[in-house]
Structure formats: C-alpha cells, structure tokens
Structure 1
Amino acid sequence: MSRTALYSGTFDPLTNGHLDILRQGVALFDKVVVAIGVHPGKAPWLTFEERAETIRTVVAQEGFGEKVAVASFDGLVVEAAKEQGACAILRGLRDGSDFDYEMQMAGMNGTLAPGIRTVFLPASPGLRHISGTLVRQIAALGGDVSAFAPAASVEALKRAITRRG
C-alpha cells in the first residue's frame, strides 16, 4: 500500500527550509504532494504557476521523480489531504512558537479528519532561521537571498520584484 503525505503552504517562495522538510518527507513516504495554498484574499508575490514551476524545477534537480507531485488547494488542508489520498500532513517545526501553533492546528485537523495524522519534522539546525517572509523582505531591499532559497526561487523572486516595480 502506498503512503502519501500532504505538505501544504504558500511557498511564496520555496525556501531552503521548505526543501529541507520536503527531503525529509520523501525519505519517509512513498509520495509527497506539495499543496500550494491559493486564497483569493491574499496577494502572494509569485503566481500559483510560478510557485508550481519553481517547485517542479527543484524537484527535478533533486531527483525526486514521481515521489513528489504539486497541487493547489483553496480550502481546509484536511480536505486537500483527503482529495489527494494522503494519510498524513507534513509540518515543519523551526522553534517553540511553531510547535505551539502547529499543535493547535494538529488538534483541530485531527478532530476534522481522525484518519489523517500530522507528522512534525524538525528543521535542520542550519535552516531554522529561514522564513518566506524574511526572504521576501531581504529580496525587496536588494539583498542576496541565494543562501536561503534554491536558485529557481531566487530567479522567480527577481522577476516578481521587477513586475512589482
């Protein structure tokens, strides 16, 4: 029986921290679906297509092959997990504040979908400081974000900054 996990987020942009959790997930599950949150009320820097293409590019470079798929979702994560046939939701933890928030979400999701487990994966020590918000802020101020995100994400951010003016 194939075991699928759902790894959800905005991935605006995909960071090295996200990639770290994805690598760990691929080692544990037969398949990981990277589910990109698409919400009409939010204005991400990168379009869904740019985020999906960035993830596909990085997945190919990593050699994950068919073990990783990309999807979109616009509702509850547990509903997206059900749609993808996932038995687990992957969540990365950087610090204690992530843990507190994620435990609350895991409790709510566990009530909504008891058959879907939340699996917490610790961020690797050298990557715990990385967040998409900080990467966007540094990029917007002209800083070099190549230490924090894969090259495909860096290029997508550059295009987004040019587009934003």
Structure 2
Amino acid sequence: MKKIGFSGTLDPITNGHMWVIGEAREIADEVVVFLSENSAKQPKFSAEQRKDIIARSCAERGWGNVQVMIVKSDYTARVAKRHGVDYLIRGIRTTADFDYENLIQQTNVDVIGGAKTMFVMPPRDLGSVSSSFVKALEGPVGWNWTMKKFVPPPAYQEWIMSWLRKEWEGLWRYAKADAAAVAHADQWFERLTGSGAYGGAQRQYHNLDHLVHGLAEIRTWAANVGPSARDANLVRAAFWFHDAHYSHAVSGALSNEEESAQLWLKSGLDADMADDVALLIRATDHFQSAAVSHPLKQTMLSVDLAILGQDEEVYSHYAQGIREEYRHVPADRYPVLRGQVLTYLRQKALDGTLFGDAFFAEQYNALAIANMGRELRALGQ
C-alpha cells in the first residue's frame, strides 16, 4: 500500500497514537496524519502547535515517512481521499470504541464517499491510554512523572512548559500587570526554563521535572495548610530560583545557592519580597542552612527534599537522574560520596528532623527512610 492515513485531534498525541502510527508504517510506504481542527473543541494546544509536536515526536523515532496535515472545517475521510489516501487506520481499545468507529467508518464511506477504515488493537499496556486520560492526570503531586510514561517526549515537554507558564503568570499576577512588567517577567521565565538553567541538557535531575514537582508540592501544601497568599508566593518564588544556578565547577567563593540568591536579587521581579526570597533560596544549601533564619525555612527545605519520600518508581528515576548529573564522578568514587550524603539525610529522617514542616513529615518521612536505605544497599554502603 502506498499511503495510509491516521486522524484525530491528538491533544496531546499519546504513546497509544504513536503505536498506531507505527503500525501504519508497517503497512504503507507513507503515513499521513490528518490533524483535526474542530471549532467545537477547546484544545490545550493550537493546531499548529500539535502539528509541530507530532512532527517532532515522529522525527525523534526516525520516522521520515510521516507527514502531518491540518484539516479545517471538512470531513477527514473526504480530505484523505482527495490526497490519494484510500484507508485510514484507527486503534480499537474496547467494544465501545468499535461501535463508535464502525458508525463513523460507515458514514465516511456510504455518506461522504471518503476513505475506508481499518482497525488495529493496541497492546495491553496501551489499552487505556487516550488524550482525555492523559489530560486527567494533571494537577496532583507527581502528575508529571505519571504523564511522562504515556506521551512521547516532545508532547511531555510542551505540556509541562504550558503548566509552568500558568504557574509563573499566576505568581506574577499577569492579569493585573502592565505591559512592561509582563515583558520583564517573560524574559525571566525564558531564562529560567531555558538552556542556561532548568532546561539545560546537562540538567538530569535539577531540571524542569524537578521544578514541576516542587511547585506541585507547594500548591498541595498551600491548599492543605492554608498559609497567607504572601507566604505561599514567597516559597513559590524561592523554588523557581533555588537551583537557577547549578554547577559542579568551583566558581569563586559562592555556592550554587548563593549564586541563585544573587540571581534572584538581580531579577527585580518583586522588591517587597526580595530579601525574604533570597533567604529561602539560601536555606536550600542543606549543609549550611543552620545559619539561615526565616519562618518559612523548614517549609522550603521540606519542599526541596520531598522527592525523597515519593513512591519507589519515582525515587528510582530521581536516583538515576542524580547519578547522571554527577557522571563526572568516577564509578569507584560515586558510591562512597553518594553514600555519605544519603547516610546523613537518612539519619536525619530516623531522628525525625529531615522534614521540619509537619505536613511533609507526616506524608514522606517513612518512605524517605525506606527509599534511602534501599539506595544505600544498592550502592553497597
């Protein structure tokens, strides 16, 4: 078969969709993804954004024989037929899917004279994956780690960037800010999420995933504890900047935390919060934070350490990310150095002092002890 088509809104494209496209490539020389632009729906991403995400997702897998076409105000099956595509391929997960798709395919062929449909059944691990399923994951602590399993990397990247953008705009009250303030804040958003900070290729743990996770933790803490709006925003602002500067190289006499605090002070984003936020950033230097005094210090430290108390799968990804971020450390030295850090933190957890904020201690202390113990054993320590 020369051409086969695959159609949908694909907001976002999932690993299930990618599987169907992969099946289509086994059948035909060329695959055309017909991307529906439905005015009745309110997608998260525009049609052009979705087209770019799909194209990058396919290119990432080396699929050079896949093209993407946006369909506006027309029947996809009819557009497909006009472009020399006689068959559309659809994934069937349930009997309900079959009943729906069968009705659509009858309409496509008998009513509008469009392309016919062939059905394929995805493997069991993709049977429940859909765009609506993925969308429903967003929000709670750890949502990003879960979503990451079900969408290709370009879709995941765009999704978390969209989420971070909303968090950023809410923090700096874009709705009430003037154009100059918005432009200034935009520059800092690009800087923090770009290649020189959390978006850098060298960042294997202190990256955008880490940023999303921490901000979700703060959102949950604020919803349950009920701090003042100012206090919640202090912690949010500090977390955005706390690892903005992260380097293994010795840079003068300043620590990464101090470099990040200085960067925050230079940003000029909020003069009223400047000194408070700088103190909270400095508090994330866990080996020197005793000198930092601030009412929200323990909350900030707890947010930064919350990753230690996640479920085993998330913790394993964290531990792997740390190893990759410290890949410059020789294999014979890493277990010793990492073991020293874990032993110190685990003892604090055993003593009940790892999470100074009671909200985090109740949720994460026991899991942190178990996780760090397991990693120490894996390191032979």
Q: How many residues in Structure 1 have an aligned counterpart in Structure 2?
A: 163
The worse-fitting range, judged by mean Cα deviation, of 34-43 and 20-29 is 34-43
Query: Which whole-Å CA distance do the structure 1 matches of 2:40 and 2:115 have between them?
Result: 27
Unpaired segments ≥5 residues, structure 2:
168-381
Alignment of 1:50-61 (within 5 A): 50-61=49-60
Residue in 2 aligned with 1:92? 91
If you compute each CA radius of gyration, which structure gives the higher value, 1 or 2?
2
Residue in 2 aligned with 1:33? 32
Residue in 1 aligned with 2:20? 21
Identity rate of aligned residues, in percent?
Answer: 27
The worse-fitting range, judged by mean Cα deviation, of 76-85 and 100-109 is 76-85
Query: Which whole-Å CA distance do the structure 1 matches of 2:40 and 2:112 have between them?
Result: 26
CA shift for structure 1 position 113: 5.0
Under a length normalisation based on structure 2, what TM-score does the superposition of the two structures give?
0.41
Contact 2:8–2:36 (Cα < 8 Å) also in 1 = yes
The worse-fitting range, judged by mean Cα deviation, of 94-103 and 77-86 is 77-86
Residue in 2 aligned with 1:150? 152
Contact 2:81–2:114 (Cα < 8 Å) also in 1 = no
Of 65, 68, 76 in structure 1, the residue corresponding to residue 66 of structure 2 is 68
Residue-by-residue CA offset, 1:111-151 (whole Å, 9 max, x unaligned):
03557321101112210011111101102445020111111
* Structure with higher RCO (Cα < 8 A, 6+ apart): 1
* Inter-CA distance 137–58: structure 2 relative to 1 (3 Å threshold): same
Residue-by-residue CA offset, 1:18-45 (whole Å, 9 max, x unaligned):
0010000011011111111102232100
Cα root mean square deviation, aligned: 1.7
Query: Which whole-Å CA distance do the structure 1 matches of 2:100 and 2:137 have between them?
Result: 25
Query: Which whole-Å CA distance do the structure 1 matches of 2:114 and 2:75 have between them?
Result: 15
The worse-fitting range, judged by mean Cα deviation, of 78-87 and 93-102 is 78-87
Q: Which amino acid aligns with 1:51?
A: R
Report the structure, 1 or 2, having the larger strand content: 1
Under a length normalisation based on structure 1, what TM-score does the superposition of the two structures give?
0.91
Report the structure, 1 or 2, having the larger helix content: 2
CA shift for structure 1 position 163: 4.4
Residue-by-residue CA offset, 1:55-97 (whole Å, 9 max, x unaligned):
11111111111x1100001221222212321010111111111
Query: Which whole-Å CA distance do the structure 2 matches of 1:116 and 1:20 have between them?
Result: 21
Query: Which whole-Å CA distance do the structure 2 matches of 1:89 and 1:164 have between them?
Result: 37
Query: Which whole-Å CA distance do the structure 1 matches of 2:85 and 2:125 have between them?
Result: 29
The worse-fitting range, judged by mean Cα deviation, of 139-148 and 117-126 is 139-148
SS state of the match for residue 137, structure 2?
helix
Contact 1:78–1:112 (Cα < 8 Å) also in 2 = no
Matched, 1:127 2:126: yes
CA shift for structure 1 position 157: 1.0
Residue in 2 aligned with 1:11? 10
